[in-house]
Structures are given as C-alpha cells and as structure tokens.
Amino acid sequence: MKRIGIFAKRHNKDAVTLADEVVAWLVDRQIEVFVDEALAKAMPDMHGYPGQAIPPLVDMVVVLGGDGTLLSVARLVGDLRTPILGVNLGSLGFMTEITRPELFPMLEQVLAGNFTVSERMRLLAVIRRKGEEVARYRVLNDVVINKGALARIIDMEAWVDDDYLTTFKADGLIVSTPTGSTGYNLAAGGPIIYPGNHCHVISPICPHTLTNRPIVVSDEATIRIAVKSLEQDVVLTADGQEGMPLECGDVVELRKSNHSTLLIKSPSKDYFQVLRTKLHWGER
C-alpha cells in the first residue's frame, strides 16, 4: 500500500480530528495520502481532491463514519476493485466494523499486506419508462419503491425471470442484497442474509395482504417490478441516498451487477460477532 484515500463527514468533529491523526500517521510512514476535498475544507492547510477522482489513484480507501458514509464512498469507487476500510464512528455500523481503538493496529496490518476482504455483491437497477431506459443505479444495500406521505397503498406487479410472482398491494417494496439485509429489510420483517450467500430478498412494506411475506431468490434471477397505481406519489430510492419519482407503467429491472464492492474485514471479529454486538443478541 503506497497510496491511500481518506473520506469522512466534514461536519463530524470526531471524524475530522481522527482524519488529521490518520493523515499524520500515514505520512510518517511515507504513504501518499489523498483527502476528499469536502473533508479537506475542515482540515487546516490540507489539499483536497475531488471524491470521484480518488479511487482510481489509490490502493485503498479509508472511510471514517457510519454505514451511510461508506455507501456514498462505495458509489464513488464504482466498478473499481479498490478495497474499503470502514471505521465505525456512528451508532450502529454493520459494514463499518472496525472500531476506533482497532484503527491504527489494523492499518499496520494492512500496510504489511496482512488482511482479507469480504466481496459484497451489488445490484444493478434499471428503470424503464415506455420501453426506454431513463435511469440506472448500482447499489450495495437495497432498492426501495415507496409511496409518498399522502399516497394510498400502491400496486406493484412482480416477476422473477419469466415467472409471475404476485401483485403486491403495500406501502412499498424492498429488494435487498445480503449486505443490505440488516437495514430497511430487517426493519420490515425480512431475514438476515449471510454476506456470502448468492441471493436477493424481496420484502413488502406493510402489505395489505398479510400472507405476502419476504421471499429470497437467487442472485442469478432478474427481478422486474411494474408500478400499476394511477395518480400515485411513488418514489424509488437506491441505498437511501439517490433516486427518482416513478410513474404508472414504469418497470424497475433488478439483477446482480457484474462488479462487487471489497470491504476489508476485521481480523478480531467475524460476521456473527458483529450481529451479536450490534443487535445485542444474548442480552437480557
């Protein structure tokens, strides 16, 4: 590792302070550091680089913050295989599993080449309107189709490959990767999916038909969701951070992306330990 990118929330004082410490620590070890320009504005005398320009220039990216910050950086990394080291400064953090006390020992291991990565599958979401593609998103967590605040229940016709699944009548629908299964999917009653499993989960949000339950399908399948509600306020969001309004007749096509995201794993804990810690399993 000779070049490392640094991202953090510029309005989080702890993150900015820690970023200063990380930069100084890396420079002392002759590592070239590329700081996101938004973060650099909060750091005295620090030169910044446009966020999208950093991933192609570096061997690794360090993200200081929570899962939301990591998701935004994962979008910048895009189709590159630049590994991401997520440091949890938030309240939960399933993907940013490295704690602050573990950071510098972990960096020592990474610089020595002693680390492993977890390869996380992503979804490609393509939105078609009257047969024409109008948008596409690559997501690490989930795609959510949701009704607006004043909208009624929406109708969404779902297909898996060429097989009709059902027409969901619900407040919305979540299509999640294994990585995103501990997010909105979990809150909506969906299952936790181990990251190594090759599948997606489709979870209705507050379905009108109570027997509509979450269903797990192969990640080799193509999922199509057609919006059937007229004059309804319907919105698609990707990873909770970007999206667009949908119209009646729009089709959302979801399939596994050809590219994955690489997350550097903590050597001191496994996935199940993360679940026990974050979800307080076994506590009374």
Q: Lowest-confidence range among 41-45, 81-85, 244-248? A: 41-45
198/110 same-domain check: no
Tokens of 100: 């602050």
Alpha helices in 35-180 (DSSP H): 37-40, 67-77, 103-111
- The CATH number given to whatever domain includes residue 227 is 2.60.200.30
Over the chain, what is the mean pLDDT?
A: 93
> pLDDT per residue over 185-218, tens digit each?
999 999 999 998 999 999 999 999 889 999 999 9
Tokens of 47: 């030169």
Question: For residue 91, what pLDDT is reported?
Answer: 67
Beta pairing, strands 32-36 & 3-8: parallel
109/159 same-domain check: no
Q: Lowest-confidence range among 42-51, 59-68, 131-140, 272-281? A: 272-281
Question: For residue 35, what pLDDT is reported?
Answer: 97
Residue 80 has what DSSP assignment? S
> Which among 206, 245, 250 is positioned nearest to 227, based on CA atoms?
250
Question: For residue 94, what pLDDT is reported?
Answer: 81
13/112 same-domain check: yes
Q: What is the mean pLDDT of residues 41-67?
A: 94
Query: 20, 36, 67, 155: which is the annotated catalytic residue?
Result: 67
Amino acid at position 106, single letter: M
- The CATH number given to whatever domain includes residue 267 is 3.40.50.10330
Q: Count the domains in the chain.
A: 2
- Give the DSSP H or E segment for 23: helix 13-28
Q: What is the mean pLDDT of residues 95-109?
A: 90
Measured distance CA(116)–CA(83) in Å, rounded: 10
| Strand, helix or coil for residue 199 | strand
128/241 same-domain check: yes
Residue 101 has what DSSP assignment? G
Q: Lowest-confidence range among 85-99, 122-136, 182-196, 199-213? A: 85-99
Q: Is 67 a catalytic residue?
A: yes
Q: What is the mean pLDDT of residues 239-260?
A: 96
Tokens of 107: 């960096």
**What end-to-end distance do the CA atoms of the chain give, in Å?**
44
| Strand, helix or coil for residue 263 | strand
What is the residue range of 58's domain?
3-120+260-279
CB atoms within 10 A of CB 238: 23
24/88 same-domain check: yes
Whether the predicted pLDDT of 151 surpasses 80: no
- pTM (two decimals): 0.92
Measured distance CA(212)–CA(280) in Å, rounded: 29
240/131 same-domain check: yes
Q: What is the mean pLDDT of residues 78-84?
A: 95
- Give the DSSP H or E segment for 274: helix 271-279
51/99 same-domain check: yes
